[in-house]
């Protein structure tokens, strides 16, 4: 066990690579990595098939007169036609929901949530990170695996996941669950909110990919093997 | 971070003990990385979805699973929301979808509904006979699989009442319909017995027009629009579904179609 500068304990190992002593920190336990890559697949399938489904009626208004909001290029769609896309969507919704449930359960049962979830004391650290990334100010000290902005982003994805599953269930059964659907304005609005939940993910993913690209192999590999070499957030003994 | 019993790490080095424990060598690190990578190996099964042919079969199973879930979740007692007349979508703005835009122009004077299968009184039923059953009209949401919805007024008789009228086997599981425009579909009995499921001969207080399925259609606010078959011609009660389950269903739409 090592301890981060912020006081979280994290599993670690001392290793010798090319004659040099290094510290490995196990940032991502395997359930997290497993869920991460499974979600990457599910979200891709659900988004692409969802866009194909949306193209059957690419509007949120009345059917007559219909005003289309957008045209999704063929390359971004999955399923070929509405019926095919629904089959993909109705298959991967189970995988996505099950992965999400298992991940959230793991977070809280294992205590790993402390590394991921934005806590009240993290909030004041968000703005300095925003200033660093967007206004090129100096980088605040990294005191644990995720900085406050990352925690905000990752916590938001959990919220998006819950929102997309909840609105998805209502969209699937708006009549059997008429009370729930009615609470957010009925079928038409459920559809809007389900779309909005997808937009939440779409807002997260490009930034996520850019940051992964910027932070290099050591960081990327940690989502494959769990281990990160010589992280700067560990407290030196 | 709490100690997780799920993931014992044999490389764990207690703080302060680093000098007493020999650091792990390079080969061991590689072995460990491989080990951790292997834990992700089961994800490779997801590749099955990318195999042409197999992928389609798998998502077909996924749809069937969702159908079973919807069927189990369905309760006859849960009513679709009803709306005031003010909230109705005007009839002229009630969409007519491509398949049924073809109006088979039923011979209304001589039209009958053929009833067969597991019923005590099979035969042909005239519209007048059907209209003698207790009538009801409802303002309900009609939701299309495409994603649009309208609120329409539908009048007719409960399918449940008609099934009793013809003496349908109470234990029968399915109802199948064939339509004058060669459309066809089939339904679970639970949904057919739902109190808002209608044999519908009126919309907005007037007899059905050609494009809305004259003289008789099904209307089920508990299912997507493609399950509300128009231009009824034949109705069968059965325990076994034919291979042809429905015009859209056979092409890949959900069979249950319940919402």
Domain assignment present for B155 = yes
Contact B43 A41 (CB under 8 A): yes
pLDDT (tens digit, 9 = 90+) per residue, B203-235? 999 999 999 999 999 999 999 999 999 999 999
Domain that holds residue B206: 82-251
Q: Please list the alpha-helical segments (H only) found in A111-146.
A: 113-116, 126-135
ipTM of this complex prediction, to 2 decimal places = 0.91
Which chain B residues are closer than 8 Å to A30 by Cβ? 7, 36, 39-40
Is the minimum CB–CB distance between A185 and chain B shorter than 8 Å?
no
- Please state, in angstroms and rounded to a whole number, the distance separating the CA atoms of residues B108 and B211: 14
Residue B34 lies in a domain: no
Q: Please compute the mean of the pLDDT values over residues B232-251 and round it to a whole number.
A: 97
CATH code for position A93: 1.20.950.20
In terms of DSSP bridges, do strands B112-117 and B232-238 run parallel, antiparallel, or are they unpaired?
parallel
Give the domain CATH number at B170.
3.90.420.10
CA distance B20 to B13: 10
Residue B7 has pLDDT above 60, yes or no: no
- pTM for this prediction: 0.93
Is B29 within a domain? Answer: no
Domain assignment of residue A20, yes or no? no
Partners of B136 in beta bridges:
B156
- Closest-approach residue (CA) in chain A for B83: A186
As a 3-state breakdown, chain B gives helix, strand, coil percent values, each rounded to 5, of 30, 25, 45
Query: Is residue B204 in some structural domain?
Result: yes
Q: Which domain holds residue A186?
A: 30-217
A149 touches chain B (CB under 8 A): no
Domain count, chain A: 1
Choose among B151, B150, B134, B160: nearest CA to B218.
Answer: B160
The pLDDT tens digits for A70-105 are: 999 999 999 999 999 999 999 999 999 999 999 999
In a domain, B7, yes or no: no
How many structural domains is chain B composed of? Answer: 1
Residue A235 lies in a domain: no
B32 to chain A: nearest residue by CA?
A225
Residue of A113, A124, A130, A126 lying closest to A152 (CA atoms):
A126
């Amino acid at each position: 066990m090592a301890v981060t500068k912020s006081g979280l304990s994290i599993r670690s190992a001392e290793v010798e690579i090319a004659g040099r002593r290094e510290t490995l920190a196990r940032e991502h336990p395997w359930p997290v990595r497993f869920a991460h890559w499974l979600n990457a697949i599910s979200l891709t399938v659900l988004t692409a098939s969802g866009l194909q489904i949306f193209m059957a009626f690419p509007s949120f208004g009345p059917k007559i007169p219909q005003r289309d909001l957008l045209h999704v290029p063929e390359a971004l769609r999955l399923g070929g036609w509405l019926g095919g896309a629904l089959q993909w969507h109705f298959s991967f919704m189970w995988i996505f929901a099950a992965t999400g449930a298992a991940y959230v359960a793991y977070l809280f049962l294992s205590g790993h949530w402390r590394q991921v979830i934005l806590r009240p004391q993290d909030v004041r650290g968000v703005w300095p990170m925003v200033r660093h990334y967007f206004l090129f100010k100096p980088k605040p000290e990294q005191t644990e695996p995720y900085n406050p902005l990352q925690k905000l982003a990752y916590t938001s994805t959990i919220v998006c996941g819950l929102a997309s599953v909840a609105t998805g269930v209502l969209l699937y059964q708006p009549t059997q669950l008429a009370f729930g659907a009615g609470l957010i304005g009925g079928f038409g609005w459920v559809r809007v909110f389900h779309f909005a939940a997808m937009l939440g993910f779409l807002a997260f993913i490009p930034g996520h990919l850019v940051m992964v690209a910027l932070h290099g192999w050591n960081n990327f590999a940690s989502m494959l093997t769990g281990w990160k070499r010589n992280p700067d957030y560990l407290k030196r003994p | 971070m709490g100690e997780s019993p799920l993931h014992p790490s044999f490389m764990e080095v207690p703080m302060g003990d680093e000098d007493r424990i020999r650091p792990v060598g390079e080969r061991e690190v590689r072995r460990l990385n491989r080990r951790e990578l292997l834990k992700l190996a089961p994800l490779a099964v997801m590749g099955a979805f990318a195999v042409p042919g197999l992928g389609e079969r798998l998502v077909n199973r996924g749809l069937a699973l969702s159908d079973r879930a919807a069927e189990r979740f369905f309760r006859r007692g849960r009513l679709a929301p009803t709306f005031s007349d003010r909230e109705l979508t005007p009839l002229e703005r009630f969409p007519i979808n491509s398949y049924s835009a073809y109006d088979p122009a039923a011979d209304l004077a001589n039209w009958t509904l053929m009833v067969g299968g597991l019923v005590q009184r099979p035969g042909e039923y005239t519209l007048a006979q059907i209209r003698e059953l207790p009538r009801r009209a409802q303002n309900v949401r009609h939701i299309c699989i495409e994603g649009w919805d309208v609120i329409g007024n539908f009048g007719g008789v409960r399918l449940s009442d008609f099934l009793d009228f013809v003496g349908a086997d109470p234990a029968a599981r399915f109802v199948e319909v064939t339509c004058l425009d060669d459309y066809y579909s089939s339904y679970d009995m639970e949904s057919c017995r739902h109190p808002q499921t209608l044999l519908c001969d009126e919309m907005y207080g007037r007899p059905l027009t050609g494009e809305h399925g004259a003289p008789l259609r099904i209307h089920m606010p508990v299912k997507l629009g493609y399950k509300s078959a128009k231009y009824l011609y034949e109705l069968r009660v059965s325990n076994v579904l034919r291979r042809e389950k429905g015009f859209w269903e056979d092409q890949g739409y959900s069979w249950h179609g319940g919402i």
